């Protein structure tokens, strides 16, 4: 966090937001632990799960970050037709429900996929996606676009004046501008991806090829669903939080403070880099990310005709939840980002380390004595989704707020700006881009979420992802593929509207 010479940010809403996030993450864990009958501790298999979880998360996060650097640099350096559409489309894998993305990946890399068909035609041996490498591949597929977007924002936050200066002095841009920027942007991005992969469940299990690929989240699922061992679930969830805290502390130590200073908000022109190199990087990554998505569309189109009439109501319900959830998320994010400080840094990553099953179970235990959970299903889902999307929103918004504060707080203090004027005139207009991205992400993530609703929903509260899973469970795989396509289009439309809205006059 940047040092602030003058404090004129509001702190009270931030305090409330901190309380809410702590209640939903650690509070729900507490509720589960409180109800537990404490029996035996963790076995060897649990520790094996912890080891596998950490290893795959480290490799997945490392690889996602390494690959994202050249992609973000190429996108930051080049202007070409369709660039802004591509930047938006790159967000899509991250927004997909896991099983849809996995089926899309399998259509390309599976035993019966495009890749193996091509290898077969060339007389080459088949490659198998199942195993450790498959898990990493899927995690990179999910997270590379996110890291790319986060780094791209870092690149665009270097003032245009610095690049002009570097170009006129013929100075090395990479060493003087890009490396320091990466030191501020990469560690938090790595942390986020590490934590996402830490709580992976369906990806790891489906592509991992067997019980070797057991994650802590699966062990929690087993403890809660099959053994009803709340104590073990609480212990495993605590381990996840512990790992999260260690990773967060390490990431903070490694994060450098941004020292570029203020610019004049001019658009960046670049004079360095190889045009062809950048084109190859962009083409490769676009192919890797977009072909599986195209396969989801191809599989889904025939299923559209088989969709039941109820799907419209489910879709409407999902969109409503997504919009409420995005609004809540933006409110929380602003409150936290404006408050600032270490506690916000921790609160900003805690939701990533929480198991949605533990959150759901804890909430259920808290709510059940008071009111029928089915009555609260949609409200609770919107709130939990908002909190689960918070880390991503905060990652995008907080650095921007810090930068604005360090650049303009003195000016604001000299002009004796009130908190209100400071927030509405200085902060918000400069936050449109990250806020739009954050709102889009929150809305889309909420669309695809299946975590909490499954535990709370009554019969008449089916959301789109739940409807999709129920179709699959009733042998109707084609209709489910159609529902997945509807889900993809709606998530993406929500993301696009918010994201575009945020950069309507911007150059990204």
Binding site for another protein (CB under 8 A): 45, 48, 99, 102-103, 106-107, 110-112, 130, 201-202, 205-212, 214, 218, 221-222, 224-226, 228, 308, 310, 361, 364-365, 368-372, 374, 454-455, 457-459, 469-470, 472-477, 480
CB of 35 to another protein, least distance (A): 8
For residues 321 and 479, which CB has a smaller minimum distance to another protein in the complex? Answer: 479
CB of 230 to another protein, least distance (A): 9
CB of 201 to another protein, least distance (A): 7
Q: Specify whether the CB–CB gap between 495 and 443 falls below 8 A.
A: yes
Q: Pick from 11, 16, 6, 17: which is nearest to 393 by CA?
A: 17
Q: At what angle do helices 428-448 and 132-157 cross, to 10 degrees?
A: 160
Q: How far apart are the C-alpha atoms of 405 and 448, rounded to whole Å? A: 34
CB of 228 to another protein, least distance (A): 5
For residues 74 and 107, which CB has a smaller minimum distance to another protein in the complex? Answer: 107
Distance of CA 345 to the CA centre of its chain: 16
CB of 365 to another protein, least distance (A): 7
CB of 299 to another protein, least distance (A): 9
CB of 374 to another protein, least distance (A): 7
CB of 314 to another protein, least distance (A): 11
C-alpha distances out from residue 469 to 139, 268, 407, Å: 21, 46, 49
Q: How far apart are the C-alpha atoms of 155 and 149, rounded to whole Å? A: 10
For residues 45 and 257, which CB has a smaller minimum distance to another protein in the complex? Answer: 45
Q: How far apart are the C-alpha atoms of 467 and 314, rounded to whole Å? A: 7
For residues 60 and 148, which CB has a smaller minimum distance to another protein in the complex? Answer: 60
Q: How far apart are the C-alpha atoms of 52 and 278, rounded to whole Å? A: 35
Q: How far apart are the first and last CA of the chain?
A: 25
CB of 59 to another protein, least distance (A): 19
Q: How far apart are the C-alpha atoms of 367 and 74, rounded to whole Å? A: 49
For residues 270 and 313, which CB has a smaller minimum distance to another protein in the complex? Answer: 313
Q: Specify whether the CB–CB gap between 484 and 468 falls below 8 A.
A: yes
For residues 196 and 401, which CB has a smaller minimum distance to another protein in the complex? Answer: 196
CA atoms within 13 A on the CB side of 371: 9
Q: In three state form, how does the secondary structure of 315-367 look?
A: HHHHHHHHHHHHHHHHHHHHHHHHHCCHHHHHHCCHHHHCCHHHHHHHHHHHH
Q: How far apart are the C-alpha atoms of 236 and 234, rounded to whole Å? A: 6
- Compute the CA torsion angle 118, 120, 125, 130 (nearest 10 deg): 60
Q: How far apart are the C-alpha atoms of 241 and 236, rounded to whole Å? A: 9
Q: Specify whether the CB–CB gap between 229 and 39 falls below 8 A.
A: yes
For residues 1 and 115, which CB has a smaller minimum distance to another protein in the complex? Answer: 115
CB of 474 to another protein, least distance (A): 5
For residues 212 and 410, which CB has a smaller minimum distance to another protein in the complex? Answer: 212
Q: Pick from 469, 217, 458: which is nearest to 358 by CA?
A: 217
For residues 137 and 334, which CB has a smaller minimum distance to another protein in the complex? Answer: 137
CB of 352 to another protein, least distance (A): 21
CB of 262 to another protein, least distance (A): 44
For residues 107 and 166, which CB has a smaller minimum distance to another protein in the complex? Answer: 107
For residues 334 and 452, which CB has a smaller minimum distance to another protein in the complex? Answer: 452
For residues 454 and 493, which CB has a smaller minimum distance to another protein in the complex? Answer: 454
- Residue 495 φ/ψ, nearest 5 degrees: -60, -45
Q: Pick from 446, 242, 449: which is nearest to 357 by CA?
A: 449
Q: Specify whether the CB–CB gap between 445 and 492 falls below 8 A.
A: no
Q: Pick from 137, 291, 143: which is nearest to 209 by CA?
A: 137
């Amino acid at each position: 966090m940047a040092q602030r010479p003058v404090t004129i940010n509001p702190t009270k809403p931030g305090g409330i937001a901190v309380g809410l996030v702590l209640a939903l993450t650690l509070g729900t864990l507490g509720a589960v632990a409180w109800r537990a009958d404490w029996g035996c501790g963790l076995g060897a298999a649990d520790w094996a799960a912890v080891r596998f979880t950490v290893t795959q998360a480290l490799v997945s996060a490392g690889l996602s970050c390494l690959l994202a650097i050249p992609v973000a640099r190429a996108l930051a350096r080049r202007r070409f037709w369709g660039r802004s559409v591509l930047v938006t489309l790159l967000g899509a894998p991250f927004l997909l429900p896991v099983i849809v993305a996995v089926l899309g990946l399998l259509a390309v890399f599976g035993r019966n996929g495009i890749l193996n068909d091509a290898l077969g035609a060339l007389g080459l041996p088949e490659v198998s996606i199942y195993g450790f490498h498959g898990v990493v591949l899927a995690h990179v597929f999910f997270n590379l676009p996110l890291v790319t977007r986060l780094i791209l924002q870092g690149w665009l936050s270097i003032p245009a004046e610095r690049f002009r200066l570097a170009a006129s002095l013929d100075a090395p841009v990479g060493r003087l501008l890009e490396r320091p920027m990466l030191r501020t942007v990469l560690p938090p991005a790595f942390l986020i991806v590490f934590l996402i992969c830490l709580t992976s469940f369906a990806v790891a299990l489906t592509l991992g090829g067997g019980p070797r690929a057991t994650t802590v989240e699966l062990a929690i699922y087993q403890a809660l669903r099959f053994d009803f061992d709340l104590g073990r679930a609480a212990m495993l969830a605590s381990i996840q939080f512990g790992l999260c805290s260690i990773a967060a502390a390490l990431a903070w130590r490694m994060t450098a403070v941004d020292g570029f200073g203020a610019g004049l908000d001019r658009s960046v022109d670049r004079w360095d880099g190889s045009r062809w190199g950048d084109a190859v990087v962009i083409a490769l990554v676009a192919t890797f990310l977009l072909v599986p998505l195209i396969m989801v569309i191809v599989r889904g189109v025939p299923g559209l005709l088989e969709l039941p009439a109820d799907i419209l109501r489910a879709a409407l319900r999902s969109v409503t939840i997504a919009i409420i959830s995005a609004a809540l998320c933006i409110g929380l994010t602003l409150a936290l980002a404006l408050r600032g400080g270490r506690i916000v840094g921790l609160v900003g990553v805690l939701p990533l380390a929480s198991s949605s099953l533990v959150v759901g179970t804890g909430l259920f235990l808290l709510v059940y004595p008071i009111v029928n959970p089915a009555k609260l299903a949609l409200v609770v889902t919107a709130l939990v989704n908002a909190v689960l999307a918070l880390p991503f929103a905060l990652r995008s918004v907080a650095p921007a707020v810090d930068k604005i504060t360090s650049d303009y707080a003195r000016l604001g203090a000299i002009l004796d700006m009130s908190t209100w004027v400071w927030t509405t005139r200085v902060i918000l207009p400069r936050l449109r881009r990250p806020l739009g991205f954050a709102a889009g992400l929150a809305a889309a993530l909420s669309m695809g979420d299946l975590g909490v609703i499954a535990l709370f929903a009554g019969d008449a509260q089916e959301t789109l992802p739940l409807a999709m899973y129920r179709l699959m469970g009733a042998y109707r795989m084609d209709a489910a593929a159609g529902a997945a396509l509807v889900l993809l289009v709606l998530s993406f439309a929500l993301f696009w509207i918010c994201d575009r809205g945020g950069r309507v006059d911007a150059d990204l």
